[in-house]
Amino acid sequence: MKFNSKNSLTFLVFIFLSTSLISQKTSSDNGDGSYTNPLIPADFPDPDVIFVDGTYYMVSTTMFVFPGVTILQSKDLVNWEYCSNAVPRFDFSPCYDLDGCHRYSHGQWATSMRYHKGKFHLLFITLDEGGFLCTAEKVEGPWEIKKLPKGFYDAGMFFDDDGRNYVVHGYSDIFITEVDENFVALSKDSLVFTGDIRKGLEGAHVYKINGYYYLYCTYGGLDGIQVALRSKHIYGPYEQKIVISDPTPGINFGIHQGALIQTQTGEWWTVLFVDSGPFGRFPSLQPVTWIDDWPMVGVEGKGVITYKKPDVGATHNIKTLPTSDEFDVSTLGKQWGWNHNPDSLHWSLTENPGFLRIKTNKVVNNLREARNMLTQRLFTKYDQTITTIVTTKLDISYINEGDVAGLAIFQDPYAYVSVAKRDGLKYVEMVNNGVVIESTKLQKDFIYLRATASNKSSIANFAFSTDNQHFQNIGNNFVMKFNLKVFTGNKVGLFNFATKASGGHVDFDWCRME
């Protein structure tokens, strides 16, 4: 590697971040044979987990972010790494290109993952486009995506040992449909259970264990309830058991919806999630104890916080998911995803090596409509007491009249700190949900932008600097929300959009999350 000043800085930052990550305990692994929930303190909702050839794989919901349908991998159920994003882009509607419409709160969700006959399978639905099946021989891809003639809501795949295949699906009313190997329906939807605790039984996954068929489902919501339905026959009748309903305030409140998993040593565990505040829905790892052939979750009816790690027959290194990026290589890190499909002609990591270049394309009115906003999840500390600081260095030498470029905290509402060019002058501005709160003139071509956010208080603030040493606060307190109109956690975003004419560009030197 060419050893220049930027690489020297990168090395020092790497050392600093490596040390700070350990001290901040962003990993759930405590290093003493125990772990502390949440499993990952970031937005990885609707998890499904499988075990294949010594490795655990987890898929989660990414909705309208692409590359999406994120898959993580782990050797011990505690330490996770990015593995792949199964769907690079989603070309089944112009709305995924923000072409006059959008897919906020829609898009891919609640994916079912299974491995069968040498192939990985992903089954999911989008509310507008229907059902989709992704298949790959290797989990790293490439993945083939195919639109199905029929969509299944909150689908759970099941390959029975007699060679027949089924999908369980539904909301409140749970149905089972027999399908062929291409997931084309062979039968009508058969109603097998109607939720009777309250409305909203969903998120079903299917397992066959000790002669029983289990439908592992949730009554969703902030105060979620996880249940198991069981029967000796695939079509029922099914009996129901609450396996956990934890109303304890804190990081396990309303824990629900996910997967059952058995380790190599025979232990049983479940990965569920918790609605955890504006940063989103965090996965949680809970022990499972079989009592009278029911998979009871947690300990004495409560979710565990700190607990012994799963016995997987070996000890594995602590892993930390990446959050910072120096943009020094020609591909984006797997932690990144674009807000809707990217326009590949208007961003580059190679036109100015060592920088992420984002060019403006079509003229838009606001950030929600802008193509090529690069996003990633906001991470917090396991106990959520730490504030998250995101800083980026931005070269705005070639920003055009009417352009707006900067650093966002994005959900609904959203806010950002940016550089805008008007009447030939550059201004640093803080914008809160489309309203300019504060603006000040800028004379420099390089600027450092910073966002500080707290999942615990729901407050974010913004600042800027011209030397990366002295930061000046700008604007007001931004109150983050987890709004179902978006349905993913607040994300950090790097953006550049045009309000007058396309053609300008800006270069992001790096983005670091502490």
Which residues does the annotation mark as catalytic? Answer: 46, 202
Q: Are 269 and 310 in contact, with CB atoms under 8 Å apart?
A: yes
Local structure of residue 1 (DSSP, 8 states)? -
Identity of the residue numbered 419: V
**Which two structure tokens, joined as six digits, stand for 475?**
């604007």
Burial 297-308 (b: 16+ CB within 10 A, else e): bbeeebbbbebe
In 3-state terms the chain splits into helix, strand, coil percentages (rounded to 5) of 5, 50, 45
Nearest-angstrom CA–CA distance, 152 and 147: 12
Nearest-angstrom CA–CA distance, 132 and 145: 7
Q: Are 211 and 293 in contact, with CB atoms under 8 Å apart?
A: no
Q: How many CB atoms lie within 10 A of CB 128?
A: 14
Local structure of residue 367 (DSSP, 8 states)? G
Q: How many CB atoms lie within 10 A of CB 272?
A: 32
E strand map for 443-504: 446-453, 459-465, 472-479, 491-498
Helix (H, G, I), strand (E, B) or coil at 321: coil
Local structure of residue 309 (DSSP, 8 states)? P
Q: How many CB atoms lie within 10 A of CB 429?
A: 23
Nearest-angstrom CA–CA distance, 477 and 194: 45
- Among 357, 358, 394, which Cα is nearest to 497's? 358
- Among 490, 37, 80, which Cα is nearest to 303's? 37
E strand map for 156-254: 156-159, 165-171, 173-179, 190-194, 201-209, 212-219, 225-231, 239-244
E strand map for 267-320: 268-275, 281-291, 294-297, 306-308
The neighbouring-strand residues paired with 446 are 395
Q: Are 453 and 409 in contact, with CB atoms under 8 Å apart?
A: yes
Q: Are 63 and 103 in contact, with CB atoms under 8 Å apart?
A: yes
**Which two structure tokens, joined as six digits, stand for 328?**
């020094």
